[in-house]
């Protein structure tokens, strides 16, 4: 009961923010266009836009069919555009205020149309960018790396968010890109699924085509663990991928460990999980954990390299600023804390708006030295 109230409260807050944002845009439009623009049609359009994403999300968590998927995609794209259109509205009022103080004549409606159109084009560019997955190549030098691993490659992919926007076809393309790199090991750092209604087994089936000499490994992210994660983990296992659930494996002398998101949300949880795993500090190790929340804990446990995702690098401005504020130097790329290195990927998919600006979707190819 308490959980349901919490979810209802969260939904109510999000919907209230969206309603107020659309009300601001509505007022901007009718003020610039004149009294004639304030019609029932205009009001209806803004009201429907304001409730579109929350409505689509609630449907997406219960149903999966072409109609729901189409509605969710349109609503998610609009949510992304909304950030830029809202910024355009704020700028238009600021310009109007300056013009009024300076005594300048300003065609306010023409300016609003131009700013709204420009903002929409920026958002559309972000949608296009989000569909273009790059290969990022990183060299990593690890102390005590087994000689056999020098020069070998591993592929890292995270945050595909298979669901109503991206599905099995998207995963097939990612599998093909990874296979072309011929990696020695493959790491999937969580949020393979979005957490919405989906045939998990069918969506994960392309993972059957992933082959690596020293294994394909998966660790659960927060979107797999919104509720019961068994259907997602079973689907990954059925596709021939090793799920690391607070354990380690030996791969030709290299220690590979994984801790799922729900066992790493707090520092003490992660410390306890790593203690049970029992890494050998005198040998190189890789820790797969979805979020770079507690790198100091992993470093204290003797981890050599932590691989994560989760941050999406903020996806687009202004959320990228908040992501940087939260995760600091661990928000993206290769960084170091003490004797441990951390690589955080921006992910291959998107959550919410299928849009990226200043953050590219990627598959990471790590070359060990």
The pLDDT value given to residue 293: 97
> pLDDT for 329-341, tens place per residue?
999 999 999 999 9
What strands lie across the sheet with 333-337, from one edge to the other? 247-251, 254-259, 285-289, 305-308, 340-344, 333-337
Confidence band of 1 (pLDDT split at 50, 70, 90):
low
Supply 81's token pair: 């555009």
Percent pLDDT > 90 in the chain is 94
For residue 134, the SS3 value is strand
The pLDDT value given to residue 141: 97
State the Cα–Cα distance between residues 172 and 97, nearest whole angstrom.
52
Looking up tokens 């998966």 gives: 218
Contact 174, 348 (CB under 8 A): yes
pLDDT at 286 over 70: yes
Of the candidates 181, 157, 144, which has an alpha carbon nearest to the alpha carbon of residue 367? 181
Domain ranges of the chain: 2-130, 135-368
The mean pLDDT of 47-70, rounded to a whole number, is 96
Contact 341, 304 (CB under 8 A): yes
pLDDT at 3 over 60: no
Give the distance, in angstroms, between the CA of residue 356 and the centroid of all CA atoms in the same chain: 10
Supply 38's token pair: 């304030």
Of the candidates 17, 99, 100, which has an alpha carbon nearest to the alpha carbon of residue 25? 17
Contact 296, 339 (CB under 8 A): no
Q: How many CB atoms lie within 10 A of CB 167?
A: 18
Supply 110's token pair: 């023409």
The mean pLDDT of 186-198, rounded to a whole number, is 96
pLDDT at 289 over 60: yes
The mean pLDDT of 340-351, rounded to a whole number, is 98
Average per-residue pLDDT for the chain: 96
The pLDDT value given to residue 329: 96
Long-range contacts, stretch 243-249, CB < 8 angstroms, 24+ apart: 243/217, 243/218, 243/219, 244/217, 244/218, 244/219, 244/288, 245/219, 245/220, 246/273, 246/276, 246/277, 247/277, 248/277, 248/278, 248/279, 248/285, 249/215, 249/217
Domain 135-368 has CATH 3.30.450.20: no
> pLDDT for 135-190, tens place per residue?
999 999 999 999 999 999 999 999 999 999 999 899 999 999 999 999 999 999 99
What is each CA distance from 309 to 102, 195, 227, 281, 306, in whole angstroms? 49, 16, 20, 24, 10
State the Cα–Cα distance between residues 360 and 348, nearest whole angstrom.
8
State the Cα–Cα distance between residues 282 and 145, nearest whole angstrom.
10
The dihedral through the CA atoms of 359, 365, 368, 369 has a sign that is negative
Contact 222, 198 (CB under 8 A): no
Confidence band of 4 (pLDDT split at 50, 70, 90):
low
Percent pLDDT > 70 in the chain is 99
Within 8 A by CB and 6+ apart from 267, the residues are 293, 294, 296, 297
């Amino acid at each position: 009961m308490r959980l349901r109230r919490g979810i209802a409260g969260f939904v109510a807050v999000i919907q209230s923010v969206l309603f107020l944002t659309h009300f601001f845009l509505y007022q901007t439009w009718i003020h610039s266009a004149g009294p004639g623009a304030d019609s029932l049609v205009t009001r209806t359009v803004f009201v429907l836009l304001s409730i579109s994403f929350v409505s689509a999300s609630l449907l997406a968590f219960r149903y999966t069919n072409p109609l729901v998927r189409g509605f969710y995609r349109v609503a998610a794209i609009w949510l992304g555009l909304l950030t830029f259109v809202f910024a355009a509205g704020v700028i238009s009022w600021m310009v109007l205020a300056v013009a009024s103080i300076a005594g300048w004549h300003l065609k306010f409606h023409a300016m609003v149309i131009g700013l709204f159109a420009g903002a929409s084009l920026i958002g559309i560019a972000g949608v296009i960018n989000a569909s273009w997955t790059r290969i990022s190549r990183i060299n990593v030098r690890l102390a005590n790396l087994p000689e056999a691993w020098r020069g070998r490659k591993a592929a890292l992919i995270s945050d595909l968010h298979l669901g109503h926007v991206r599905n099995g076809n998207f995963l097939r393309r990612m599998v093909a890109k990874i296979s072309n790199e011929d990696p020695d090991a493959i790491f999937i750092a969580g949020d393979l699924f979005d957490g919405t209604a989906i045939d998990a087994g069918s969506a994960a089936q392309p993972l059957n085509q992933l082959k690596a000499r020293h294994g394909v490994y998966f660790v659960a992210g927060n979107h797999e663990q919104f509720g019961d994660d068994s259907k997602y983990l079973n689907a990954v296992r059925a596709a021939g991928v090793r799920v690391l659930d607070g354990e380690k494996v030996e791969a030709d002398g290299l220690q590979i460990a994984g801790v799922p998101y729900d066992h790493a949300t707090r520092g003490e949880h992660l410390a306890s999980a790593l203690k049970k795993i029992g890494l050998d500090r005198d040998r190189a190790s890789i820790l797969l954990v979805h979020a770079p929340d507690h790198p100091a804990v992993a470093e204290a446990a003797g981890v050599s390299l932590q691989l994560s995702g989760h941050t999406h690098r903020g996806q687009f401005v202004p959320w990228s600023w908040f992501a940087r504020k939260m995760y600091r130097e661990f928000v993206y790329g290769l960084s170091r804390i003490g004797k441990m290195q951390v690589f955080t990927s921006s992910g291959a998919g998107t959550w919410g708006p299928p849009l990226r600006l200043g953050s590219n979707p990627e598959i990471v190819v790590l070359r060990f030295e």
